[in-house]
Amino acid sequence: GLKMDETNSNWLTGCLLYAGGSITVNLAQIIIKLSHLDQDHGTRKLCGCCCSSFMWWFGVVLFGAGDVLNVIGLNYAAQSLLEAFGSIQFVSNLCFSTFILHENVQRRHVVSTCLIIAGNICIVAWGDHKNKKITLSRLEELAGTTAFIVYISIIYPMAICIYILEIYLQRMKHRNSHDRSNLQAICFVLSSAMIGANSVVVLKALSGLLHTYIEDFYGKDGKIPGKVVIGVTIVSIFGVLHISFWLYRLNLALKRYSALFVVPLMQASWIVFTVTSGGIFFGEFADLGARQIMGFTVGVVLVLFGVSVLIPSSRQEEMSHCDQCSVSEEQVGLLHESGKLSSGECQTIFALIKKEHVMYERSHEEQQARSFLQRLNRWLDQQICR
């Protein structure tokens, strides 16, 4: 009973620490975005770049503080559980973007936030709640598993391919770039999250190693084996590289896109890939039953659907029947009576008009089939507050 109470206490402690860290990280993102807005308006600039802004540095330091809380929380519970629990920052992002950045809030932002939170609740409910002890030998064993090797072999080349697509879209020049910019933002986020999310695996491994060996060795004879020191150093290097990459891409995203759009998009992608990478590397999916896997999958689908709702819609204007038909039958009849058109020419034109009517009817049926989605998009685009 005592062991079970201690496990539950550790699980709750990890969730509380991670919730605090997630909200702190989100606040830091909003402050960094605010520093970019100040730079665009020509305020608080010292040398012409965002890095010279006090507000930007304050956001970076706050981001680091939130990450420290997250790393501490990872010592108390499974990565897949805590990363999903970090969905609380979608609520905080909606509040911070509204009251600090004064961005317009649409219904799609609220609906998307609710869907993402519902999805992450499913992930938490059916995810792995266990947290196993991390040692250097266990890390070596985990890194050599077939599942992790296959995952790494797929995720990094895929991220590179998506990055190449992002560069290609960036170089394309079209008058109407609305759809292209949305697709480019999605490619930007995916290529960033696929690689950056692995930093959580590295940080959890690093914090677990330090916690284990400081507790097991340093408390006894004051010495930590040299092999462990080398292992910690290697893991630290990988961690710094991945975190630096994620911070760089996050800073660019906040500079280029609206916080209400890009922050939930990045964090949802972050959650999906951190949950996946943690579940594969630490074997957190191995003990899940069929029902848990189904619930976990439903949660991931809800998160992705919530992200798709967040993407702005490109509206298409409806075309009337008069716009579709360039010439009417009455006009053709008048031309025939005046002698300007022969009977054969009239029959040909009537056949073309009939064909045009058939094409219009088909187009109208397709338009009616899409009308529900169009009404839904118009409803989602309505602003709640300014």
pLDDT given at position 157: 95
Residue that terminates a domain, selected from 282, 310, 338? 310
Comparing 81 with 370, the larger pLDDT belongs to 81
Instruction: Using the predicted structure, report yes or no on whether residue 43 has a pLDDT greater than 70.
Output: no
Write out pLDDT tens, residues 251-282: 888 888 877 778 778 877 888 888 888 888 88
| 378 and 266 housed in the same domain | no
| 152 and 35 housed in the same domain | yes
Do the domain assignments include residue 316? no
Residue that terminates a domain, selected from 267, 283, 310? 310
| 236 and 380 housed in the same domain | no
Instruction: Using the predicted structure, report yes or no on whether residue 196 has a pLDDT greater than 60.
Output: yes
| 285 and 376 housed in the same domain | no
Contact 66, 14 (CB under 8 A): no
| 209 and 358 housed in the same domain | no
Packing angle, helices 259-281 and 146-171, rounded to 10: 160
Picking from 253, 260, 271, the residue whose alpha carbon sits closest to that of residue 312 is 260
User: Across-strand partners of 55?
Assistant: none
With cut-offs at 50, 70 and 90, classify the pLDDT of residue 321: very low
The rounded distance, in Å, linking the Cα atoms of 331 and 349 is 11
Residue that terminates a domain, selected from 283, 310, 337? 310
Contact 103, 259 (CB under 8 A): yes
pLDDT given at position 337: 62
| 347 and 285 housed in the same domain | no
Write out pLDDT tens, residues 95-154: 888 888 777 778 888 888 888 788 878 877 787 666 677 778 888 888 889 999 999 999
User: In the chain, how many domains are there?
Assistant: 2
pTM of the model: 0.66
Contact 263, 97 (CB under 8 A): yes
Domain that holds residue 339: 321-385
Span of 126-135, 292-301, 326-335, 336-345 with lowest mean pLDDT: 326-335
Do the domain assignments include residue 315? no
Picking from 50, 61, 51, 53, the residue whose alpha carbon sits closest to that of residue 28 is 61
Do the domain assignments include residue 147? yes
Comparing 362 with 327, the larger pLDDT belongs to 362
Picking from 90, 100, 110, 111, the residue whose alpha carbon sits closest to that of residue 23 is 90
| 171 and 302 housed in the same domain | yes
Comparing 145 with 381, the larger pLDDT belongs to 145
How many CA atoms lie within 13 Å of 259's alpha carbon, on the beta-carbon side? 30
What's the helix, strand, coil split of the chain in %, to 5? Answer: 80, 0, 20
